[in-house]
Amino acid sequence: MNFTGLVAAITGGAKGIGKAMAQQFAARGAKVAILDIDPESGERTAQAMRETGGDAVFITADVGDLSSMERAAQQVAQSLGNTDILCVNAGIYPQAFLESMTEADWDTVHRVNLKGMFLTVKAFLPQLKQSQRGRIVLTSSITGPVTGFPGWAHYGATKAGMLGFMHSAAIELAKYGITVNAVLPGNIETEGLGEIGEEYRRKMEAVIPFKRLGKPEDVAHAALFFASEGAGYITGQTLIVDGGQILPESSLALEDI
């Protein structure tokens, strides 16, 4: 896959899955804009990519704020050119159990994950329309669309909501040649997941047929596919990247493997 001459903008690109997407697109010739609320990590990621020959800029942007995203989109166009590939990846996943979940907990997660997706697409749509091969890749999750986990009802609602958005957006944007697809990661070893502890990791690994958590690159490769020239006739689709985690119909299925 070659992305030479194309511009990729990646929200939440300072760390984790978004950082791997930024690195993988840059390694294949794309000019990459990292959009994130964490300027220290974002600048460090962009700098490291430039040092290895990549064309990367960091732009501070909050996906939950339309004016911030419009400003960021303008800065991408000025510094790299019009965006061809938009990875809507920024997301947060604080755990909160229903009995203690506050309205603020609910709103915070929805502001970033769901409203943030809409505002990101809205801000970049004028640029994507000008591209010969506009691509939108959403980072959803298995949690919500396919599975559930205590403490993530609000999170799961946003990740399932992203797919609801995708289905209509894919139809609306087809006339511009823009595809809209989603990657659904399982448990991926990122900075965001890092705090969650050794016991969680051990238990999770035990129920994944591949017996390991995913790497950010595993998800980035799925995003590269959706953004590739060859995927131009694929829209409104999902790709699960979970090492087989959702497959076992019970713990019996994992015995003796």
Q: Which of 7, 16, 76, 224 binds ligand NAP (CB under 6 A)?
A: 16
Q: ∠ at Cα 167 (69, 159), nearest 5°?
A: 65
Helix (H) or strand (E) holding 9: strand 7-11
Reduce the DSSP state of residue 221 to 3 states and report it: helix
Note whether 134 and 179 are within 8 A (CB): yes
Query: Is 156 an interacting residue with respect to ligand NAP (CB under 6 A)?
Result: no
Query: Is 76 an interacting residue with respect to ligand NAP (CB under 6 A)?
Result: no
Instruction: Count the residues in the chain.
Output: 257
Min dist. Cβ of residue 104 to ligand NAP (A): 15
Q: Which two tokens stand for residue 162?
A: 């992203």
> Comparing C-alpha atoms, which of 114, 124, 122 is closest to residue 85?
124
Query: Is 188 an interacting residue with respect to ligand NAP (CB under 6 A)?
Result: yes
> Binding pattern to ligand NAP, positions 109-148, x when CB under 6 A?
---x---x----------------------x-x-------
Q: Count the residues of the shown chain that bind ligand NAP, applying the rule CB under 6 A.
A: 31
> Binding pattern to ligand NAP, positions 211-250, x when CB under 6 A?
----------------------------------------
> Binding pattern to ligand NAP, positions 193-212, x when CB under 6 A?
x-------------------
Measured CA to CA in angstroms, residue 133 lies from 32, 82, 106 at distances of 16, 12, 36
Residues 6+ apart with CB under 8 A from 64: 111, 112, 115, 116, 119
Note whether 140 and 165 are within 8 A (CB): no
Min dist. Cβ of residue 13 to ligand NAP (A): 7
Active site residue 155: yes
Min dist. Cβ of residue 108 to ligand NAP (A): 10
Q: How far apart are CA 149 and CA 254, in angstroms?
A: 19
Min dist. Cβ of residue 5 to ligand NAP (A): 26
Q: What are the catalytic residues?
A: 155
- Chain residues that interact with ligand NAP, rule: CB under 6 A: 11-12, 14-18, 36-38, 41, 61-64, 89-93, 112, 116, 139, 141, 185, 187-188, 190-193
